[in-house]
Amino acid sequence: MHEEPILRIDHLNKTFGDGCAHCQQSETYEMKINYCPYCSTTYACQDISLELYSGEILGIVGESGSGKSTMMQCLYFDMDVTSGGAYIKDTEVEEENLFELSSQKKRYVRNYKYGMVYQNPVHGLKMNFSSVGNIAEKLIAAGNRNVSEMEAISKRLLESVHIPPYRMKQEPRNFSGGMQQRVQIAKALSNNPPVLFLDEVTTGLDLSVQANVLDLIKNIQRELGISMIVVSHDLAVIRMLADRTVVMLDGKVIEEGLTDQILEDPQHAYTQQLVYSLL
Ligand SMILES: Nc1ncnc2c1ncn2[C@@H]1O[C@H](COP(=O)(O)OP(=O)(O)OP(=O)(O)O)[C@@H](O)[C@H]1O
């Protein structure tokens, strides 16, 4: 299945703070963790290079604070990177570093090439819009102006994530956590993006609801062949979804490989700990 990647991340760095003489010397003790106690700078993502291939689910696993969400937010242009590049297979922006695009081109990538599902639905949904209205908002951002067409697309998408028709005109703030996540997924799928980012989408949901959302994601991937980056601190979630897995610790990639391989033969001590905790 693997030829040219659909998305390539190249030496991504994201730092919160300006650094100091201590932490800028990269081999000091402090840099083995990602926080400098002298100047409070956090090196949230350090030299991350990854490839996402067409039709695969790439899992990113790591403990809280390892830099997973920061990486996703940089990719989705929610925050600026400190340095590095990202490249997507697309005729409009081929060969261009996505982080250096004009804001107009970034909007194009965000609206047509990417979908994002946040851990907290508040970040992905307008809680005072109806569910249909939430999806229409994304369609409008991509230039659609035909009201009846937008309504039809929205209803079809909501149906595909099992939102019953009588709830489609309701505001997601009155929905359960699992339903809110399903509306977010429907919204992220509008405009048929080739790449979907999912950040801890089942964290905080109870186990049976988690299982439903994970099944839904797996089915969507099978039916639509969308490439996905799925972030979770929970290796059980990654095991269920991901074809390949990347393990992050203190802002760095410490191990990557086929998910089965990582599970059967983890190399890094931290990965071994993660895998054994599943047993
Ligand atoms: N806006 C910010 N300002 C300063 N530090 C930040 C900011 N956002 C994140 N960080 C720090 O960057 C590091 C990585 O955080 P990040 O949220 O990416 O980790 P994570 O692996 O996604 O964990 P979690 O799932 O708990 O969010 C942490 O040390 C965090 O405190």
What pLDDT, on a 0 to 100 scale, did the predictor assign at position 32?
60
Instruction: Please tell me the predicted confidence (pLDDT) of residue 81.
Output: 98
The length of the chain in residues reads 279
Residue bearing the CA closest to ligand 1, atom 28: 65
Residue 273 has pLDDT above 90, yes or no: yes
pTM over 0.90: yes
Q: Which of 32, 39, 34 is nearest to 67 (CA)?
A: 34
Q: What is the whole-number distance in angstroms between the Cα of residue 20 and the centre of ligand 1?
A: 20
Q: Nearest C-alpha to atom 31 of ligand 1 is from which residue?
A: 65
The predicted pLDDT at position 28 comes to 54
Q: Distance from the CA of 251 to the center of ligand 1, in angstroms?
A: 9
Write down the pLDDT at residue 247: 98
ipTM score assigned to the predicted complex: 0.97
In-domain check, residue 19: yes
| Containing structural domain, residue 114 | 7-276
Whether the CB of 41 sits within 6 Å of ligand 1: no
Domain membership flag for residue 116: yes
In a domain, 228, yes or no: yes
pLDDT value, residue 252: 95
174-201 per-position pLDDT tens digit: 999 999 999 999 999 998 999 999 999 9
- Determine the Cα–Cα distance for residues 93 and 70; give it in Å rounded to an integer: 23
Per-position DSSP letters for 8-77, written without gaps between them: EEEEEEEEES---TTTTSTTSHHHHTTB-TTT--EEEEEEEEEEE-TT-EEEEE--TTSSHHHHHHHHTT
CB of 154 closer than 6 A to ligand 1? no
pLDDT score of 71 more than 90? yes
Average pLDDT of every residue of the chain: 92
Question: What percentage of the chain reaches a pLDDT higher than 70?
Answer: 97
Task: Give the closest residue (by CA) to ligand 1 atom 25.
Answer: 64
For ligand 1, the distance from its centroid to the CA atom of residue 243, given in whole angstroms, is 26
Mutate to test the pocket of ligand 1, among 34, 39, 42, 82 (most ligand atoms within 8 A of CB): 42
User: Which ligand 1 atom is the nearest neighbour of the CA of 200?
Assistant: 25
Residue with CA at minimum distance from ligand 1 atom 16: 67
How many domains in the chain?
A: 1
3-class DSSP assignment, residue 258 = strand
Q: What does the pLDDT look like over 4-39, one tens digit per residue?
A: 899 999 999 999 999 998 887 766 544 567 888 889
Residue 157, C-beta contacts closer than 8 angstroms, at least 6 positions apart: 135, 186, 187, 189, 190
First-residue to last-residue Cα distance in the chain = 31
Cα-based angle 195, 165, 176 (whole degrees, multiple of 5): 70
> Does residue 2 belong to any structural domain of this protein?
no
pLDDT, position 26 = 62
Least confident of 56-65, 93-102, 200-209, 230-239: 200-209
In this structure, is residue 1 part of a structural domain? Answer: no
Q: How far is the CA of 160 from the centre of ligand 1 (A)?
A: 33
> Which atom number of ligand 1 is nearest to the Cα of residue 73?
18
**Mean pLDDT calculated for residue range 102-123:** 95
Helix (H) or strand (E) holding 122: helix 121-124
User: What confidence tens digit (pLDDT) does each residue in 207-250 have?
Assistant: 888 898 899 899 998 899 999 999 999 999 999 999 999 999 99
Residue 1 in this model has a pLDDT that exceeds 70? no
CATH of the domain at 13: 3.40.50.300
